[in-house]
Chains A and B, each alone.
Chain A
């Protein structure tokens, strides 16, 4: 009896190890594949021309493989969407965790989370059919498929991530901190800003970074609403072409193992490095500002 229980224990341990190992192995294989298919592009084009080249004409003769417009488009779209989604997401989280009555919270929180379950193609379609003509009319610009539209749609998508994680972080701040602050005569607002927010900073920052990394990697939305012009955007009303959109639009038709194919994988590698960086930053912040106990603050 005793023995069979031990065997079971060992078996279970190995099964779990195997499963964990499989997911890591798959990640490693994907990375290996990305590098193998991406790096050969540097036989055709120098590293400098690849990253700083201003023209993306992969099928022209001779081709140009400059991805600077694509990188800038990705960064600008992510930056502007962060400028919209961070205040919106964090403030929603504060409201839900601190101000809303339990009944309101019960309804509002699932609704915000539902926003996360909207398929990105639906958001993209909404941006294309509703938001684009609206922007065009309001600002009297030639096209509504532009950087601003893409940023707005991406902000929609990252708000639920930011809100959910921030709300959890804010709600898990030890109640004695808040009570102590209120007991010392601080108002509710002062307690939120001076005590609760600093205490939940690590969780909130993690939420923000994860929200942003979702925005930079998002493909369908930017493919549909960013306009797709591979130029360095001069204003928020210019069409642009973020990296994922380029990969998605061109991969299907790129001849197998051609320079174009390698270049698209190299873009994928760049994108992977970007999101990896976001994740490292999130990890770093959540460790650095981890709240160890109420007494340390």
Chain B
């Protein structure tokens, strides 16, 4: 009796697996997208809508980070790489070695916003003040017009795209001091700042919520409307293997279309480019 049941389960399993295999082969071309978790919401939503229009293309989206996405382009294991930074010289060299020519498409703009605990009455910091705070030169909120509390600076791990933008624009190459706390994701920074009245952190525009107070930088507020004037912003990219053709081209066209993909970009909290 028992043997029979196991046999039956095995058979059903094998048949199901075969059916699934045939179904995917017969039904859909595959398009795989991989990379930055910052770009992930755009890619995810765009893929869902895209598959409604092109049911014969099966889009699979995964995260893993900008570095991993570009690595996958170099290895040829993905069709499109999401990245929150531009490709590095070294990575270009490596892909050319592999016979791959990565082509960048800017798909959106992201603003990185300094945030503090809502109980903090500071509203604005200059780029210079931000830099000094993250260099560990300003250690007390009083020095920038706030309450007499120690500053707990929360930064992102050094290889995240968000950190690189912060390092470029705010730090201007200076180092974040070793005593700054490091969190591994936008969500973790938001969580840590919301729970700590001493803290300052920085996150992507789409991660703002009611438990955080967004600061203006040099008097400019971070918002979708004000993205060009706001100083701490960056472009988000999708990279393809060579100039895109076929299914890849269809997808890129979809993402860049002002009424389709770019609408999704603003829905998920980033700034559309077209």
Contacts and interface: CB of A to CB of B under 8 A. Distances in A.
Interface of A: 55-61, 69, 128-129, 132-133, 136, 142-145, 223-224, 227-231, 238-239, 241, 245, 248-250, 252-258, 260
Contacts of B167: 59
B90 A255 contact: yes
B178 A143 contact: no
Given A252-B67, A253-B66, A228 B195 contact: no
A196 B71 CA distance: 57
Nearest to A228: B182
Interface of B: 64-68, 70-71, 74, 88, 90-91, 94, 149-152, 157-161, 163-164, 167, 173, 175, 178-184, 188, 191-192, 195-196, 198-199
A229 B164 contact: no
B158 A58 contact: yes
Contacts of B71: 255-256
Nearest to A239: B181
Contact of B195 (A55, A69, A132, A224): A132
Residue from the set A133, A224, A250 with the largest chain B CB neighbour count within 10 Å:
A250
Contacts of A69: 178
Contact of A252 (B64, B88, B173): B64
Contact of B158 (A145, A224, A250): A250
Residue from the set B74, B149, B150, B159 with the largest chain A CB neighbour count within 10 Å:
B159
B157 A253 contact: yes
A181 to B, nearest CB: 50
A254 B149 CA distance: 35
Contacts of B74: 256
A253 B195 contact: no
Contacts of A136: 196
Contacts of A61: 173
A252 B68 contact: yes
11 contacts: A60-B175, A142-B150, A142-B151, A142-B196, A144-B196, A228-B157, A228-B182, A252-B64, A252-B65, A253-B68, A256-B70
B157 A250 contact: yes
B184 A248 contact: yes
Given A59-B158, A254-B67, A256-B94, A249 B184 contact: yes
B94 A257 contact: yes
B182 A143 contact: no
A143 B68 CA distance: 32
B152 A128 contact: no
A256 B67 contact: yes
